[in-house]
Structure 1
Amino acid sequence: MLNTQISNQELSEHIRRDLLDGYDEEFELEIEDRHYENGAEAIALSDFEKEQRRLYFRELFRLQAELVKLQDWVVATKHKVVILFEGRDAAGKGGVIKRITQRLNPRVCRVAALPAPNDRERTQWYFQRYVSHLPAGGEIVLFDRSWYNRAGVEKVMGFCTDDQYEEFFRTTPEFERMLVSSGIQLIKYWFSISDEEQRARFLGRIHDPLKQWKLSPMDLESRRRWEDYTKAKEIMLERTHIPEAPWWVVEADDKKKARLNCIHHLLNQMPYQEVPHPTIELPQRERHEDYLRNPVPAEIIVPKVY
């Protein structure tokens, strides 16, 4: 029988490579923040910028480790959490959601990003399609946009009547108080960016083939109606900022700082503690003399292009 055991040094090196591969996930996400020209990186980073990036990644990984502890505490205590992410198009909501969920169990922490309502859903109680996504005990749900669509895009684009708009503001505080009284912790974030920053991010998407899918006709129209969205946002914050579920505004012109600030704030919203876990020992694999592994047919193996 072949010796399948590996040395401690080889094992340590294997674990190190796995850790680096895990961290590379974050570096891959950061490609979104860079610009490439003719296949080569067009931006040369200064020593100061390199140091700032190192600090960013160091702090991000530290915060993500705390998020794992928070997740364990949520599961252990059967806590229920709903986090709403609202803001203008290109404000960076998706970026912070990715960093929050990146190292968490998707069965515990999941994202709800609902499409526009269909014909059937338009006839339902307005909050009905969101209710089915609410968490059970030991779950965290992140809404990438939420029922506040009615206060923003639906109002600005004329997708709801004035009566529906006013009914939303009358019932939303009641709905959210009902969620909180049922044991759900509700946290609401508004990502705030400047006029100039949104323009720059839209232009970046227009000229980047990897980002063009992010631009929809609705996004472009929202750019034209900047002032209308500003008025709608101000009314929304004023009329739905309640003690049971206050709004928190994240200044998001700097994407990386916004991510760190939001995650840091989120961690401080819950009295989580590190949950002790029993020591894990890897069991020895059973081996049988009469076992012979069959070779994989060559025709079904993926070609090694790389």
Structure 2
Amino acid sequence: MGVPWVPQFHSLGLCPPLPPCRSASDSKLLVLIVEILSRVVAPLPSYETRDKSPPPPETNSLEFMYFYKSLDKEDKLCFLTKLSQDFGVDHKSVSELALKLLDTQLRDLATILLAEDRLRYTLTPRYKQLFSHISRVEGGVKFLVDLRADLNAPLFLPQDLNGALKSLLSEWFSVGLLRLERITWQSPCEILQKISQYEAVHPVRNWTDLKRRVGPYRRCYAFTHAAMPGEPLVVLHVALTEDISDNIQSIVREFATLDSDEDVNKINSAIFYSISSTQAGLQGVELGNVLIKRVVCLLGVQRYSYRY
């Protein structure tokens, strides 16, 4: 066994040390982690060449993904801690550029704007560029969503990684990039199975129960994303009723017969009785409220006399 690795304080001395890599105390694994990160995390191009530098090879992203998936929970903590500490922001360069920015305050506006832009660019962590490159490979976005789910777990403390990932995911999963889909019994079996699996409010008992929840007088909607095909991100269940019910069990347990047709004259209310977020890695990314608003608008167009 090698000497356990104990992380040092961050370069500015402002943050407490992150926890040591317990299961990675074997020096061979630590050496491998350092070797892989040094190889796959590309250096930040200079400010002058930032738009001219070619992107790193796709194999860098694939190697990072493959290696991370092969680690157990404790080794993932070690891996991400090392990524956060050694491949984040260059604090020395940031301090130098911040001083230069202060020195330019009496200069012309163009000089000030250039100094601000240089500082802004230097504040980009190296690992953030890695995440951007990973998002462009097949399965990369889903990988990053799952990685952030790991970061949300109690053991994981590199919150700078969490914040950077949340910022990127908020951009990638903005409203204009989401697709609103109605789920019906004719939807692909894989989607229906996930709708059943992800239901967090009123668990689905069986296939008959699921069929009723997407059948007559019921609506099921989900947001999906092109980068995660076949994966519902947030799911909303709606009951179309004659009156607003005061008992949730009457909505969940009582259904029309499976082969009945809807009588639009009996539909005066839309009750939103269940909403489930399916991706722990998208916690904090606004999806649920947006889905509700979109469905309200959609139902309002289809049947403008609903009560909600």
TM range (shorter): under 0.3
Larger Rg: 2
Q: How high is the TM-score relative to the length of structure 1? A: 0.22
Structure ranking higher on relative contact order (CA contacts 8 Å, 6+ apart): 1
Q: How high is the TM-score relative to the length of structure 2? A: 0.22
